[in-house]
Structure formats: C-alpha cells, structure tokens
Amino acid sequence: MTTIKQAMAKTIKNYLEDGRYYNYNGSKRLYADTQNCFGIPNSIQLQIVAICAEEICPKPDLDPNLLISVILNPMGIVTGPNLVGWLDGDWSMFKPQGYADILNPPVPDLGTMREISVYEARQRIRTLTGIHPFDIYEDDMIFRLIKPEMIKPVCVANPADRRLYIEESHDCDDFVNETTGWLSRWNYGNLVFGKRSDVILRYEGQDIIKHAITHILDDNMDFWMYDPQVETFVWKYGEKPPYSKYDEIRILRMTV
C-alpha cells in the first residue's frame, strides 16, 4: 500500500513511468499515456501538454527526460505533486503568458547594443559579400548590432528550429520568417540578426539548390550566416558552410 509520504516523494518521471510513457517513442504518446495514468481524458491541461509536445519536440525519438526539462519544468512543474496539482486544475503553475512562453520563449537579454545607420550596414555588407546595392533591401533606418558572444545563446533560444520541416508548407522561408517574427515580438526587430538571405547552395562549383537562411552583423562588424532550421548552423561568412552535401554558398539577395 502506497503511503501519502511515498506518493508525495514521487517525481514527474515516476508518474510518466506509471503512465507507461517510457515504453514508447514519439511526443504524441504523452497525451495518451498521461491519460492512462491520471484518467482525465477531457483535461484541457493534457491537451496543452500535447500541443507543447508536438510544437517543441516533434522528433520521433524524443527522450522523456528532455520532454520534462523543455516543457514541464519551464512551466514551473518540477515535482510529482506539482504535476498532479496542475493536472487537477491548478493553473497557478502557469506563467502570465501561459504555455505561449514555452512555444515562443523570450530572446535572451542583449543589454545595450551599438547602433548604426542603414547606410553603414549596407556598406559593410556590400564590402564583405559583393552583393549589388539593389539586391540589399532594408527594413529600418537605424539598426542594432549583437555582441558576438550572444549569437549562440540567441540561436539556442530560437524556437524556430524545434519545428518540423514539411516540404512547401513549412520549409526554409517559414523558418526564416518565424525567426524574424520571434525577434520582433521581443522588441529586437531592428537587430541585424535573422534577416533573410536568399542563397544557392553549391557543390564543386555547381549550383545545386536554392535556399533561404539568415545573416548576422555583430558589433565587431563581422558577418555571420545562420540557418534557423538547425540550431548549430552558424558560421562566419567566407568559411565553408557546415552542410554535408554542399561546400559553398552564393548569395542572391538579402535584407537589412
């Protein structure tokens, strides 16, 4: 017989094990398995967990420990009793923004940043890339430049790369648009980060495929390329891109 003390000592992992979630792969199992454990088939909270799982963790081989750390823990659900209370309808576990903060987390605080005019930004990009002035489109007149040490933290926080690639309906341009929209939502719309670059990926001197990625100008006036489909794909312009099938990138047009 389980005592109250033993029940209170159970962790989130214990409850998910009870619900047999650890016997399956795939984020969509969380909804069904938690139902099996808690028996609340119409729970709005469970539906929200299911949505979070699909949006944040679409990979079919998702480890449940990761699901706990990236979905439940940021919502303030850290212990087993937290989970039970939340599933029973205790909405106090929510942040003010609800689960939207998890699907669309804040951009890390970038502090005070250097500002430059659109003319300085265009001139620097033209000098480095050779892009024709008419192929550089601007959104603002004054831009802010990120510190180089903050590039990686922003890429890690960007929720765009957690979405599933779907040909045409959710492909490269959508990842770029989601990145710029995310930055704008958190008041970093005039950052030279996440702006669109239309490129051609090349291999052994041949044009292979058109692609949309983004670019970054940091406060050292160094220029970086960033593919928001993959969190770790950030490289300095001129270096070999990290794609396995391509060895060069040709820029067609870009936005500042």
The per-residue pLDDT of the chain, averaged, comes to 78
Question: What residues are paired with 181 via a beta bridge?
Answer: none
Residues 6+ apart with CB under 8 A from 166: none
Instruction: Give the pLDDT mean for 61-85.
Output: 69
Instruction: Give the pLDDT mean for 134-142.
Output: 90
The answer, yes or no, to whether residue 93 has pLDDT greater than 70, is: no
Write the Ramachandran bin of 201: left for phi over 0, alpha for psi from -120 to 50, otherwise beta. beta
Per-residue pLDDT at 106:
82
List the one residue out of 191, 202, 227 whose CA is nearest residue 212: 227
Q: Which domains does the chain have, with CATH numbers?
A: 4-103 (no CATH), 114-255 (3.30.460.70)
Q: Pull the structure tokens for residue 75.
A: 């919502």
What whole-number percentage of the chain has pLDDT above 70? Answer: 65
